[in-house]
Chains A and B, each alone.
Chain A
Amino acid sequence: MSQWPFVIAAYSAAILLTVGLVAWAYMSMRRAEAAADEIGRK
C-alpha cells in the first residue's frame, strides 16, 4: 500500500482549512472595516 496518498490527503486538508480560515477572517475584516469607514464619512 502506497503511503503517499495519505500524506497528500492530510496536507491538502490542513492547507485547505488553514487558507479557508485566513481568507474568511481577512474578508470579514475588510468588509467590516470598509463599512465602518463608510459610515464614519457620512
Chain B
Amino acid sequence: MHAFANPTRFLRIAKPATSWLLLVGLAFAVAGTIAGLTLTPPDYLQGETVRILYIHVPSAWLGMAGWLGIAAASISQLVWRHPLAAVAGRASAPAGATFAAICLITGSIWGRPTWGTWWEWDGRLTSMLVLFFLYLGYIALSSAERERGGEGRIAAIYGLVGAINLPIIHYSVLWWRTLHQGESIGLTGSSIDNSLLWPLPLTMIGFTCLFGAAVLMRIRAELAETKVEARMRRMSR
C-alpha cells in the first residue's frame, strides 16, 4: 500500500482508472437498469415494485462499503501513517452518504406499497439512518480538521468507532423482529428466483464502479487543492 504513498505514482494509476471506472460503471448501470425495468417478470407477491431491488440492494451495499473504506483508511492512517489515508477517508464519505441516502429513499418508496408505510422504526431502517447521520458527522468533522490544518486523527478515530454500526446493520434482521425481510442473498446462494435475480449483478457492478470513480475523482481534487495551497503558502512567504 505504501507504494501508492507518493501522489505522483498514485495519480499515474488513478487518472486512467477514473475514466475506465466511469465508462464501465455507466455501461453496466444503464444495462442493469433497463433490464430491471423491462426484461424481468413482476413478482407473484410484490408485483412491479420488486424492480426497486435492482437499485436498492447496490445502494445498501455501497452505503456500507463507503464506511468500510473510511474504517480501512482510518486504520491505515492511525497505524501506518499512510499519507493518502486521510484523503481517501474524506473522499469516500460523500459517495457513501449519497448511496446511504439512496438506500433510505428507495427503501421508503418500496415500503409504502409493500408494508403499507413509508417508514418504520425497526432495526434495519434505524441503523441505516444512523449510518447516514454518521456520514454527515464525519464530513463535518474531517472538513473542520482539514481547515484547521490538522492531521485528521480525530476523524480517523470517529471513522473507526462508527464502524461498530456496520455489523449492527447487517445482523439487525436476525437480532430483532423487523418489517424488513431477512437475508435473501448470501455468499452461498439466493432465495430469489434467477428470472428476477440476473440484472442485479449488472447494477451491483455498475454502481460500484461509479462509486469508485467518484471516490477517485474526489481524491484527485483534494491532491490538486493541496498542491495549490502549498504553492500559495510558499508564494506568500
- Point out residues on B near A: beta carbons under 8 Å: 22, 29, 33, 37, 47-49, 51-52, 55-56, 59, 94-95, 98, 101-102, 105-106, 109-110, 112-113, 207, 210, 213-214, 217-218, 220-222, 224-225, 227-228, 231-232
Q: Report the bound CA distance from A22 to B210 in whole Å.
A: 7
Q: Could you say which interface size class chain A belongs to?
A: 20 to 34
User: Is A29 in contact with B52, judged by CB distance below 8 angstroms?
Assistant: no
> How many residue pairs at the A-B interface have CB separations less than 8 Å?
100
Q: Report the bound CA distance from A24 to B94 in whole Å.
A: 10
Q: Shortest CB–CB separation between residue B47 and chain A, in angstroms?
A: 5
Q: Report the bound CA distance from A20 to B98 in whole Å.
A: 9
User: Is A3 in contact with B113, judged by CB distance below 8 angstroms?
Assistant: yes
Majority-rule SS of A interface residues? helix
User: Is B231 in contact with A39, judged by CB distance below 8 angstroms?
Assistant: yes
User: Is A9 in contact with B109, judged by CB distance below 8 angstroms?
Assistant: yes
User: Is A32 in contact with B224, judged by CB distance below 8 angstroms?
Assistant: yes
Q: List 22 interface pairs A-B (beta carbons < 8 Å), by A numbering.
A: A3-B48, A3-B49, A7-B37, A7-B51, A7-B52, A11-B51, A11-B55, A13-B109, A14-B105, A14-B106, A15-B33, A17-B98, A17-B105, A21-B210, A21-B214, A22-B214, A25-B213, A28-B218, A32-B220, A32-B228, A39-B231, A39-B232
Measured CB to CB, the nearest residue on chain A to B225 is: A32
Segment 3-38 of A: residues with Cβ below 8 Å from B: 3-4, 6-7, 9-11, 13-15, 17-18, 20-22, 24-26, 28-29, 31-33, 35-36
